[in-house]
Amino acid sequence: MTQFSENRRKIVKATGSAFFASGLSAIPLRGYAADPVNIGALYPVTGSMAQIGMGCVAAAKLAVSMINDAGGIKSLGGAKLNLIISDVQSDTTVTRTETDRLITGSKLSAIHGCYASALTLIASEVCERAKVPIITGSSSDMLNKGRSYTFTPFARASQFAQTQLQMSKLVSDRPKVAVIFENTAFGTATSNGIKELAASEGVEIVMFEPYSAGFTDAAPLLNKVKASGANAMFSVSYLNDLILIVRSIKQMGLNIAVNAGSGGFVMPDFYKNVGKLAEGLQGVTHWNHDISAESKKCNEEFKKITGEFLFEYGGGLIAQTFMLADAIERAASTDPQKVREALSTLDVSKGFAAMAPGGRVKFGPDGKNIYGRPIGVQWQNGDLASIFPKDFAKASILKT
Amino acid sequence: MLETVLQAVVNGLLIGGIYALVSIGVTLIFGVVKIVNFAQGEFVMIGMYISYYLSTQFGIDPVVSVLISMPILFVAGVLIQHYLIRRVLGLNDLPQIFLTFALSLLITNLSLMFFTANYRTIHTWYSDEALHLGGIYIPYAKLVSFVLAMVLSGALWLFLRSTDLGKAMRAASQNRDVAQLMGINPNRVFAVALGIALALAGAAGSLLMPFYPAYPMVGQVFVLMAFVAVVLGTLGNVLGALVASLLMGVAESLGIQFVGADSGLIVVFVLLLVTLALKPSGLAGGWRK
């Protein structure tokens, strides 16, 4: 790389052309003490997940400016983090080519992305081959299989299912749960996780039904839930179906506790769409803005920029960026392999990098944070409050 | 048990009313102008956004905003007929198919640009409330939209039967050449047909708004059901499309209740196939010979 840059410098000098000079002025010449540290950011800022992707980018930028304003990476002479953002367009093929392009086109020290597990799985494959570490808040357990460059600091999908089942006991001593899920890979995998754990958690499942995603009307489905005699309902749904389901519950005269998991449910947009009907609904997240003093501070900053509270994935992403900064600081290098080594020995229990439920981050050999745990949340007064388990709870549960 | 069945039937009828507004538009265009309008769902979406903005900016109730969305879309229909569809009518089928298909893609993508992909909902005082009849729940928002859908369908049926223009439209749909020989101006008739069809789509959009979120791709959710209803109710037959839409709503709801929550559409398509096997041109057509 050094040789390449020197060659480039020679070319610039030799030609002295304005064309080259202007073309290269955007690319910092290497070899100086405080060269920036390039971090790749892969998010879907167009396509079906665009809105969430843009929230992620806002959070990533906030995190980088927090680190840079505090003096950057000290072991690299105060080097600044430089975020290189790429749009993966909510599409697996684009994710593959964009990850490749980012790695070959820029000298990256690490990557974070991509919100959706389906996209992150592809990006992490590419990173694995290119030997660049990737850190992610995606929850698929598949990300922890056969990978040594992928780091997942938050709770896994399998842990989410367990927490959901445990939370059903908050609303009834003998929970009778109706599980409705969209008939897609996401819906089936998540609901099967719930089904497998139900017996060992002592929860009875009285209805287990896939439905066609993108329906015109939620009333027939809820009529079926009503007939099942369930007193709690888990809905594994994307935002559109969930809005319809929640809006139809009251119309159908259904008296039932709802746990809608994660995803679109924990976004400010959900509350905007269903309003007061969201009050009391429960979900599960890997991060929430009320878990620590640090997270509250980030939430305030984020609100100033976007006007919305800091959502699950965005908050986790700020913590992830601080974990990367911690690793780069200790590696005292921008070399991705050294950053990977430093990440694998990361062990933080204070500051923004430890801003995770459980308050500590240390990766096991499978890249999973051994202290990672999910939080049960509930919509209360237009905000998401952490209510479960007891040692994380910041608000008491609102009985509906 | 009886309550559950009745509730399922009621749910089916209520959503069937919305399918009817969309499918009647499609069948009217097909019957009179002899083209398939793939963009019909997109006009439902436009109707939804019109009501959304009228409600959030001016506080106009979405049901009242039918009075605004229908005329706007009527004019849009006349213009689309005059400047786009009229130009390709003499040609073979392919340009016509691609014209409406392109229109659908264009409108969807423009909406993504202008309205963004966010879901938009409206809350009215009646959005979450329901009428209780014994153990049966009838949500007000859906009841109002069902009643208005039936009124609009009935008005269209009367218009087609008893006005000169309506008769001219039926004549043009039966035989375009003979109608022209009788002194009917096809361009005028076609423009009105497009206008009425799009106005119905706009009405469907406005009436959906109190209980359904608007987003740029929402049209595709309803247009599939509309096409099935059009075929089931015999191509070009307005009353057939209405009956077929209600039947499909009920079939879907009962399918979800008694077959499986992801089997609603399966039951609808079985209904379609059985009907076509017995009556090859749909419910309003003759029996298989």
Mean pLDDT calculated for residue range A47-56: 84
Mean pLDDT calculated for residue range A120-141: 95
- How many CB atoms sit inside 10 A of residue A171's CB? 19
pLDDT bin (cut points 50, 70, 90) of residue A126 is very high
Tally of domains within chain A: 3
Provide the angle, in degrees to the nearest 10, between the axes of the packed helices B164-174 and B140-162. 80
Q: How far apart are CA B131 and CA B129, in angstroms?
A: 7
pLDDT at site A17: 42
- Considering the domain architecture, whether residues A336 and A235 belong to the same structural domain is answered as no
Q: Is residue A18 part of a domain?
A: yes
Give chain A's radius of gyration (CA, Å).
23
Q: What pLDDT, in 10s, does the model give residues A361-400?
A: 999 999 999 999 999 999 999 999 999 998 888 888 887 6
State the CATH number of the domain containing residue A312. 3.40.50.2300
- Considering the domain architecture, whether residues A225 and A266 belong to the same structural domain is answered as yes
pLDDT at site A35: 87
Question: Which chain B residues touch A250 with a CB distance below 8 Å?
Answer: 128-130
Contact of B103 with B111, CB cutoff 8 Å:
no
Q: Is residue A396 part of a domain?
A: no
Mean pLDDT calculated for residue range A80-95: 93
Give me the domain span that covers residue A213.
Answer: 157-285+376-388
Question: Which chain A residues touch B129 with a CB distance below 8 Å?
Answer: 250-251
- Considering the domain architecture, whether residues A176 and A271 belong to the same structural domain is answered as yes
- Considering the domain architecture, whether residues A252 and A145 belong to the same structural domain is answered as no
Q: Which helix (H) or strand (E) holds B130?
A: strand B130-133
Contact of B271 with B233, CB cutoff 8 Å:
no
pLDDT at site A33: 53
Residues of chain B with pLDDT under 50: none
- Considering the domain architecture, whether residues A24 and A171 belong to the same structural domain is answered as no
- Considering the domain architecture, whether residues A257 and A338 belong to the same structural domain is answered as no
Q: Is residue A398 part of a domain?
A: no
Question: Which chain A residues touch B262 with a CB distance below 8 Å?
Answer: 183, 209-212
Is pLDDT of A28 > 90? no
Q: How far apart are CA A290 and CA A271, in angstroms?
A: 17
pLDDT at site B221: 87
Flag if B137 and A252 touch (Cβ within 8 Å): yes
Q: Is residue A400 part of a domain?
A: no
A227: contact with B, CB 8 A cutoff: yes
Q: What pLDDT, in 10s, does the model give residues A186-238?
A: 788 889 889 999 999 999 999 999 998 888 899 999 999 999 999 999 999 88
- Considering the domain architecture, whether residues A278 and A168 belong to the same structural domain is answered as yes
- Considering the domain architecture, whether residues A83 and A176 belong to the same structural domain is answered as no
- Considering the domain architecture, whether residues A129 and A226 belong to the same structural domain is answered as no
Flag if B119 and A239 touch (Cβ within 8 Å): yes
Question: Which chain B residues touch A212 with a CB distance below 8 Å?
Answer: 261-262, 264-265
- Considering the domain architecture, whether residues A148 and A181 belong to the same structural domain is answered as no
Q: Is residue A207 part of a domain?
A: yes
Name which of B128, B215, B260 is nearest A277 (Cβ-Cβ).
B128
Is pLDDT of A20 > 90? no
Average pLDDT, chain A: 89
- Considering the domain architecture, whether residues A147 and A79 belong to the same structural domain is answered as yes
Contact of A189 with A157, CB cutoff 8 Å:
yes
Q: How far apart are CA A316 and CA A329, in angstroms?
A: 20
